[in-house]
Amino acid sequence: MGALLAADTLHGPKVDWFALTPLIILLGGAMVLLLVAALTPAWPKRAYALFTVAVGSAAAVMSFILWDRINHQGAKTLVGDAMWLDKPGVWIAITVCIGVVMAALLTDDYLRREGIDGPELYVLYLLAALGAIVMASANDLIVLFLGLEILSLALYVMAASHRKRADSQESGLKYFILGGFSSAFLLYGIALIYGSSGSTNLGKIESYFRLNPILDHSKETLALAGVALLIVGLAFKVAAVPFHFWSPDVYEGAPTPVTAFMASVGKAAAFAAMLRVLLQGLPHWAQDYRPAIWTIAVLTLVGGSVMAVVQTNVKRMLAFSSISHAGYLLVGVEAAAHNAGNGLSSTGVSSVLMYLLVYTVLVGGTFAVVTAVGRTGDGATDLAGFRGLGRSKPALALGMTVLLLAQAGVPLTSGFVAKFGVIGDAVRVHSYAIAIIAMVSAVIAAFLYLRIMISMWIAEPEAGDDAREAVRVPALLCVAITLSVGFTLAIGFFPDWLIHAAP
């Protein structure tokens, strides 16, 4: 009762609404789509997708404007110290918007092909993006958790959204249960950190541990347990080994465009959150968590690539490849942990952020091809489905080849630039062992991309191949693939501006 009575003296924080415009646009777009589409008859072909693309682009444009503002006025916190308006946050916001645009381009024809057209999935994309940006800009563990839940709940529903495929339902359920599990870990970690430091605000946590370097035994135990649980929770979200078990099944079962969204936006947000928590909140504990990150990174790199080798379903392969990419990103995080005291300006952060942007575009394009090859029913995603693509659709196969080579980290593609960035930072902080392990596991992972290429270009046609449904590449899908391949090559040849831009 006391709190209620005191309500008239409680002042809300001053809100810089302009700094929140990307979020407002995404929320507004989602609401409009949800309400208007519910009240009006089915929109004309492609309208839902194009609307989503427009909303995503508008949010991206606003993010660019904010970027410019940070250039002039510097970074600051928003909404009573709960969120950051800084370059890493805006960078991730742009990345997320790109992810939304790519996903929307992929989804359009897919839904009509599968006979489940409607606005719901687009609404969920926009809401998930909102959550992802909140998560990436959070300066408070509670806000971070809020963002994470907005993102995750949307993702659970999306994964299960293909009503006609049992696999999709299974995928959604699995993701929901394991995701809930990991959220619990994270929340427990937040509670323990709060217990030891007395705050959920990252800045306050950081200063508490800095000003009280010698903690009593119980508080230290509490804090260390909290750090461990936070890492476990976030490692679940990025699908790092050994917390990756959900990802192959979920990736395989979810509708292909949703898989693309999950792999790009989900990962970007989770890594941004990880950087914030570890570097902005808990740099004091860097010496303690760095070995853990190192171990997880190595397990993820090696596990992701080795397990990918034995798969026969391309979506599963790409799930494992996505795990090994997470390993690379963790190499960057490990490098950053070497000089965690610098917060988000540590060596390694900018290459992680660049990697996330590059990977988002790359994965969007790759899954666009998988969407096309999946054919009606979204089932033909095993290697056999790709057989003979080089003959029937040479341009599509060539695009896929470029994207796969980029994922393998072959020079003159964006993937190489991204890998070079994180490996370079690992070497810079003298983490030679992890750099070599990462490169060697890239070779193992290359085998998986080679297998897909063999299917497309080299494998002999088999009886029944001609009876398969022809692969169609509708306009928007074509746009997505072209953009993605173009970006991949452009960054591969001229990476300078992106490296300069990365915060």
Partner 1 sequence: MIEFPILTMLVLVPVIGSVLVALISKRYPDLVKVTALVTSVLTAGMSIWLLAAFKTNNADFQFASQHEWIKAWGISWHLGVDGISIFLVVLTGVLFPLVIVGIDPHHDHKRYLSWMLLLEAGVMGSFISLDLFLFFVFFEIVLVPMYFLIGGWGYDNRVYAATKFFLFTMIGSAFMLVGIIATAVLAKADNGHVTFDLIKIAENASFAASTGRWLFFAFAIAFAVKVPLFPLHTWLPDAHTQAPTGGSVILAGVLLKMGTYGLLRFGVFLFPEAAVWARPLFLTLAVAGIIWGAIAATMQTDLKRLVAYSSVAHLGFIVLGTFALTATAITGGVMQMVNHGISTGALFILVGMIYDRRHTREISKLRGLQKVAPIFAAVFTVVMLSSIGVPGLNGFVGEFMVLIGSFGTARWWVVVATTGVILAALYLLWAYQRVFHGEPDEDNKSFAELKWKEGMLLLPFIGLIVFCGLYPKPMIDRIQPSVDKLLQHVSQHSDFKVPAPAEPVISNGGEG
* Binding site residues, partner 1, CB under 8 A: 405, 410-412, 416, 420, 423-424, 427-428, 432, 435-436, 439-440, 442-443, 446-447, 450, 454, 457-458, 495-496, 499-500
Instruction: Tell me the closest approach of the beta carbon of residue 431 to partner 1, in angstroms.
Output: 10
Looking at beta carbons only, is 37 or 442 nearer to partner 1? 442
Closest to partner 1 by CB, 139 vs 455, is 455
Smallest distance, partner 1 to C-beta of residue 474, A: 24
Nearer to partner 1, 226 or 495 (CB): 495
> 3-class secondary structure for 425-444?
HHHHCCCHHHHHHHHHHHHH
Residue 72 CB, nearest approach to partner 1 (Å): 22
- CA distances 430 to 163, 274, 433, 451, Å, are 50, 22, 8, 34
Q: Which is nearer to partner 1, 66 or 404 (CB)?
A: 404
User: Of 116 and 410, which has the nearer Cβ to partner 1?
Assistant: 410
Distance (Å, whole) CA 34 – CA 207: 43
Q: Which is nearer to partner 1, 72 or 500 (CB)?
A: 500
Q: What is the DSSP letter of 284?
A: G
Q: In angstroms, what is the minimal distance from the CB of 440 to partner 1?
A: 5
CA distance 269 to 238: 9
- Contact at 8 Å (CB) between 403 and 321? no
Which C-beta is closer to partner 1: that of 257 or that of 399? 399
Q: Report long-range pairs for 206-209 (Cβ below 8 Å, ≥24 apart).
A: 206/280, 206/281, 206/282, 206/283, 206/284, 209/282, 209/284, 209/285
- In one letter, which amino acid is 40? T
Residue 475: how many CB atoms within 10 A of its CB?
11
Specify the 3-state DSSP secondary structure of 470: coil
Please state, as a whole number, how many other Cβ atoms lie within 10 Å of the Cβ of residue 216.
Answer: 10
How far apart are CB 401 and partner 1 at their closest, in Å?
A: 9
Of 64 and 420, the one with the shorter C-beta distance to partner 1 is: 420
- Least Å distance, CB 475 to partner 1, is 22
Shortest Cβ 424–partner 1 spacing (Å): 5
- In the bound state with partner 1, the residue whose beta carbon lies nearer, of 66 and 435, is 435
Least distance from partner 1 to the Cβ atom of residue 490, Å: 13
Please state the closest distance from residue 447 (CB atom) to partner 1, in A: 6
Q: What is the distance between the terminal CA atoms of the chain, rounded to a whole angstrom?
A: 47
| In the complex, minimum distance from the CB of residue 432 to partner 1, in angstroms, rounded to a whole number | 7
Q: Which is nearer to partner 1, 274 or 445 (CB)?
A: 445
Helix axis angle for 87-114 and 120-137, nearest 10°, is 160
- Residue 285 corresponds to which amino acid? W
Q: Count of residues for the chain? A: 503
- The Cα 153–Cα 173 span in angstroms is 11
**CA distance linking residue 148 with residue 130, whole number of Å:** 10
CA distance 98 to 57: 8
Neighbours of 45 (CB within 10 A): 12
